[in-house]
Amino acid sequence: MVLPIPAEARTASDPDFGVYLHIPFCVSKCAYCAFSSGPASRGIISAYQDAVHREIDAHAHGGAYAGRTARTLYFGGGTPSLAAPSEIAALIDHCRRAFALAPNAEITLEANPETVSYDRLRGFLDAGVTRISLGVQSFDPRELTALRRAHSSERVVRAWEAARRAGCANLSLDLIYGIPDQAPETWTATVDAALALEPDHLSAYALTPEAGTAFGLAVEEGRAALPSDDEVDTLEAVLHDRLDAAGFNRYEISNYARPGRACRHNLLYWSGDDWLGLGASAHSHVDGRRWWNHFDADDYVREGEDGRWTADREQLTPERRLAEALAFGIRMIGGIDGDRLRVRFTVDPWERYAQPLDRLIAMGLVEPRRPLIRLTPRGLNLADMIAEEFL
């Protein structure tokens, strides 16, 4: 039997939080992208930035984030590196004034190789960016074409070298695997090419054919076939073995880092802490309240003229909050501390979810290390399925 969480239970929220700022514009839409993104005119870009500045002001004066320190700021997209360094500087400065941005805050900018040069990268760093995440996805020409990426592997290397010369000491890159017709040999070559750049952090995600994307439609119509589970397992084994041999720490299912280089912003999400989302489609969470902005940039700008950026909101029940804390927390390789959850929610998760946890331990998917709730290596491969046990 699963006991309900008392309605009065609530978390003792971390006084710090993170800020996510969405820049939805890009050169062209990638085949797999389901985010709010796409090409735009200079006019809408300018209007959009004005709208974001107004939204920052709206949150700056009192409200849920008053008196709290923002320890991370993350520019995601879209392609934030399409913005001018001066525009990024203005947004960072505004957030610094509005949210008491910590002096040692991690400030990440997502970038695409074809949009950056030494001068632009130097400008971003001078603006306050401390971490750059480069969207590489693959080093194979055929795969880059299939993904509808606008860069070549040679352009990746030039962008990477420019970032290092500009002084970026915290460089991450993203890869995608499970691409239709991807062979273990081409994936191995991509991983080796990525490691040759000596990144500080690497994210690798299995391709998911989202509805409404070019890839999703191709799979639905039978024009593209994804690899089998066994084939994906082979690709993942190559990734894990190569990165482990190179000295990377796998700290989350899809993320690897050198010591001290884990992405502090993403850890906010996986740890169930609070964050503020700014811009089109951005989600926010504070103390069990969640809301999200209009998905389309045009709608966001138009509705924002009257301060109506938010498309919808919801209040999470204490039970749902604990369930989500577990579902996200088990993605971390180190697991999640059941005692910490007990303090936050006044309920012991080992008692609340005794039956599913006992069953998962018996199946060899969860380690019997109470109070720690941690997946076994086999369990990590089934994390999404295990998360459903709590949601």
Handedness of CA 312, 317, 323, 326 (dihedral sign): positive
Average pLDDT over residues 333-354: 93
Instruction: Supply the pLDDT for residue 114.
Output: 94
Residues of the chain with CATH 1.10.10.920: 318-387
Task: Say whether pLDDT at 11 is over 70.
Answer: no
Average pLDDT over residues 342-367: 95
Q: Does the structural domain 318-387 have CATH classification 1.10.10.920?
A: yes
For residue range 296-307, list pLDDT tens digits in order: 999 999 998 888
For residue range 66-97, list pLDDT tens digits in order: 778 999 999 999 999 999 999 999 999 999 99
Query: Which of 2-6, 101-105, 187-191, 362-366 shows the lowest per-residue confidence on average (mean pLDDT)?
Result: 2-6
Nearest to 194 by CA among 136, 147, 155, 148: 136
Q: Give residue 267's Cα distance to chain centre.
A: 9
Residues of the chain with CATH 3.20.20.70: 17-270
Task: Say whether pLDDT at 52 is over 60.
Answer: yes
Q: Does the structural domain 17-270 have CATH classification 3.30.40.10?
A: no
Instruction: Supply the pLDDT for residue 360.
Output: 97
Task: Say whether pLDDT at 381 is over 50.
Answer: yes
For residue range 183-209, list pLDDT tens digits in order: 999 999 999 999 999 999 999 999 988
Average pLDDT over residues 5-20: 56
